[in-house]
Chain A
Amino acid sequence: MSRKQKEIQETIENRDRIHVVMFFLSYIFLFLGIGVLACIIHIQTSFHVDDKVIGLFRPSSALHVEHPVRGRILATDGRPLALSAPLYDIYMDCTVKKQYYKESGKDSLERAWRNKARELGVYLSNQFKDKSADQYASAILKGRDNNNRYLAIRKNVDLETVKLVKTFPLYREGTYAGGIIVERHEERIYPYDSLARRTIGYVKDISRKGLEDSFDSELHGHEGYEWRRVTDNNRWVRDLDSTVVAVQDGNDIRTTLNVDFQDIADRALRAQINENPDVRAGICVIMETKTGAIRAMVNLSRGETPQTVLWERENLVLTETGEQGSVMKTATLLSLVEDGHVKSLNQTLPTNNGWVYNWRKPGSASEYPHDDHISDYQRKTGRRDITVMHGFEISSNYVFAQLAETYYGKRPQELFDHLYSYRLGEAFDFDIEGLRAPSVVRPGTPAWSNNTLGTVAYGYGLSITPLHVITFYNGIANRGRMMKPYLVESVEKNGKVLKKFVPSALNESICSPATADTVTRALRAVVNSGTATRLRGAKLPVAGKTGTARVVLSNGQYHDASGRKKNQGTFVGFFPADKPKYTILVTVYSYLSSLSFYGGTMPALAVRDIVDQIYALDEEWRPELHPTGTVPVMNNEK
């Protein structure tokens, strides 16, 4: 026997209790190892397990997605224009306990249940006042007879009402005995209903419009995720061993809209167009002159049929491109004065019986339609010349076509360069998506003809949106500085400003201040003695221009076979004329109609109403009363 074998033999003979335990344990682990190996082979090859068994082994936790609260859209003074809160639908399982009462033969309990249902009907009727108590009771009892498990009781009720309804007879017994089912759904609440609704926009499923769409990334927030597990008390709690992504509620958007101005404009416009079935739509925009902040944007329309009520259906301010008519004469006048072609508003030009002189073919017929305003003017005054000022006051197409042909006939691009500098030839960035790009017939293009220049000069041949028009007029009111219109002034979180949007200029100088003053004088004359005299005597002096345009129909003409036309009447201007604070535009659109609509009628009257009300409301014009004597001081004021 070798030495080593001897040592082993001695070890075996002398092994103590620890050795035995270790041997024992090693065998246990050996068997366990063999077992684990066998299990692995079995699971990998032939093991099939029931889903129920898997369920038992699966940890009782589930992924919970927490949805953020959508941010609010606020007016400039902080009043909410849109906010999020859930509403509730109340249903009823009419079959509760029915089977149990039937099987256990407890007819008295069934009768008691039915009596409570009748009592519930009284309470529901008193609460909702939409059906009688009998109607409610019979619906519930009929539902019980017909095994209706989902009878709609009332939809879109608030939390307070739900809590109250839960105290009603039968419902106070809970879901399993009373059958009440309350379903919650998130709703976007617009407290002012239709007011500025198209500007604010809406959220419906995945569809969004207006500011709700443009600022969705700010308003939406971020979803939160957490795993939840069931406790021994059957409560779902956060699983602290898992990853948690905290929910982030959406940010608030503070707009430039003034609820009071919006309300005033909405009412004034409705007052003018509500009773007139020929009116298809009406819009109004009020812009702060210095900043370009939009204080009100009204878009009322009836849709395709006159029978429907006025509602904010589409944002016509941004999308209704069209020839704006005489309001664009101001652009021509501004260009003429700025270029020095019109040195004085009293400068005269021959009336030529209302026919624009054809300088291309002297002696030939005019390329423009006749202007009846000039014939009337000649008849009334006996004069054969007319001042630029008076031509502007009476909105003569002849005067502006003649001026354009005289001064820009050989270089039409000069006038168009001005129009582009007024941003009338392109869309600009705006807080709501969808601002339509203008359509301009440019010199040298196939659509250009001999009379395009003149028609552009008096407002046709240039298709733009109302937002372009008011932005341009605001530039004049602001003495040449054309501000970029904007609707959102800041992004906030719990009152703290995260982002601030400051006013910016689209064009720092569309004209000199002197030119702007001259044109303002002409605009003032339109109100005092021109086509907008309905605004004379408004509580604040207004300067502005009317425009009446015919809309091109699908047949390419301005009227249909029976002579009916689609009109649009506009008034655009600013007030107070001497120190403008607000720029305003009102346009009224008609259906196909045999009637004519003028900018000096409904739009001007609406503007007057708005100006008068803003005057009474805006603190800018509050008079101060200074005491002339000594005011006695009371003891408690010392």
Chain B
Amino acid sequence: MSLGDLWNRFRRGMRSLRNGEFLLKVGADKFYMHIMYLFLLMWLSIMLSLKVDKTLSRVGDNKAAIEELRIYHAQKEAQLVKLHSASTAERRLRELGSPVSIPKEPAIIIKKK
């Protein structure tokens, strides 16, 4: 094949590109299904990737929400536990002017017959 032939082929190729006939010229219509399949795979890949990103973002959000709840729970628990000591209860009762105090005698257990 001479250089002139190559040049002619190149020109024809360019022309077919311009006319939108390049794929037909090179006979790519034989691989139409394969190209569509490739396109589908690429589309699926991108879509799944975006879905995964979205899910991971939600996982991150949920993780942060759970962490926030854990912190809230721990802090509330600490506050409640602080109130649960006998000293605190006695002090609070005294502050409120209650006559109730820590028992001096053990509680009586009433047994059923």
A 254-271 to B, binary, CB cutoff 8 A, 1 in contact else 0: 000001100110110000
Q: Does A626 contact B (CB under 8 A)?
A: yes
CB closest residue in chain A, given B55 = A237
**Stretch binding the partner chain, chosen from B15-23, B32-40, B81-89:** B81-89
A69 to B70, alpha carbons, bound, how many Å? Answer: 10
- Complex contacts, A10 vs chain B, CB 8 Å: none
Q: Distance in Å from the Cβ of A161 to the closest Cβ of chain B? A: 9
- With A80-B81, A159-B75, A231-B56 as contacts: A616 and B106 at CB distance below 8 Å: yes
Q: Does A62 contact B (CB under 8 A)?
A: no
B74 contact from A85, A192, A264, A618, Cβ within 8 A: A85
- Complex contacts, B111 vs chain A, CB 8 Å: 624-627
Q: Are B113 and A616 in contact (CB under 8 A)?
A: no
B106 contact from A17, A264, A623, A631, Cβ within 8 A: A623
Interface size class of A (residues with CB under 8 A): 35 or more
Q: Distance in Å from the Cβ of B107 to the closest Cβ of chain A? A: 6
Total cross-chain contacts (CB, 8 A): 109
B102 contact from A80, A231, A616, Cβ within 8 A: A616
Q: Does A68 contact B (CB under 8 A)?
A: no
A616 to B112, alpha carbons, bound, how many Å? Answer: 23
Residue of A79, A86, A231, A622 most packed against chain B (CB within 10 A):
A231
Q: Does B68 contact A (CB under 8 A)?
A: yes
B 74-113 to A, binary, CB cutoff 8 A, 1 in contact else 0: 1101110110111100000000000000111111111111
Q: Are B108 and A83 in contact (CB under 8 A)?
A: no
- With A237-B56, A616-B106, A617-B106 as contacts: A191 and B72 at CB distance below 8 Å: no
- Complex contacts, B3 vs chain A, CB 8 Å: none
- With A195-B85, A235-B60 as contacts: A627 and B112 at CB distance below 8 Å: yes
- With A236-B60, A621-B106, A624-B108 as contacts: A192 and B81 at CB distance below 8 Å: yes
Interface residues of A in 82-106 (CB under 8 A from B): 83-86
- With A15-B1, A264-B86, A625-B108 as contacts: A238 and B71 at CB distance below 8 Å: no
Q: Does A613 contact B (CB under 8 A)?
A: yes
Q: Does B52 contact A (CB under 8 A)?
A: yes
- Complex contacts, A621 vs chain B, CB 8 Å: 106
CB closest residue in chain A, given B82 = A191
B75 contact from A85, A231, A613, A627, Cβ within 8 A: A85
- Complex contacts, A232 vs chain B, CB 8 Å: 50, 53
A625 to B105, alpha carbons, bound, how many Å? Answer: 14
Residue of A12, A158, A266 most packed against chain B (CB within 10 A):
A158
A236 to B59, alpha carbons, bound, how many Å? Answer: 11
A235 contact from B9, B57, B78, B79, Cβ within 8 A: B57
A 155-187 to B, binary, CB cutoff 8 A, 1 in contact else 0: 000111000000000000000000000000000
Q: 22 A-B contacts, Cβ less than 8 Å apart?
A: A15-B1, A79-B81, A80-B78, A83-B77, A85-B71, A191-B78, A231-B57, A235-B53, A238-B59, A240-B56, A267-B87, A613-B102, A616-B104, A618-B106, A622-B107, A622-B108, A623-B106, A625-B108, A625-B109, A625-B110, A625-B111, A631-B113
Task: Report A's interface with B, CB cutoff 8 A.
Answer: 12, 15, 17, 20-21, 69, 79-80, 83-86, 158-160, 189, 191-193, 195, 231-233, 235-238, 240, 259-260, 263-264, 266-267, 612-613, 615-619, 621-627, 630-631
Other 13 A-B pairs with CB < 8 A, given A235-B53, A238-B60:
A17-B26, A85-B74, A85-B75, A159-B72, A191-B77, A191-B79, A192-B85, A195-B85, A233-B53, A237-B60, A623-B106, A626-B113, A631-B113
Q: What 5 pairs between A and B have smallest CB-CB spacing?
A: A237-B56, A85-B74, A191-B81, A231-B53, A622-B106
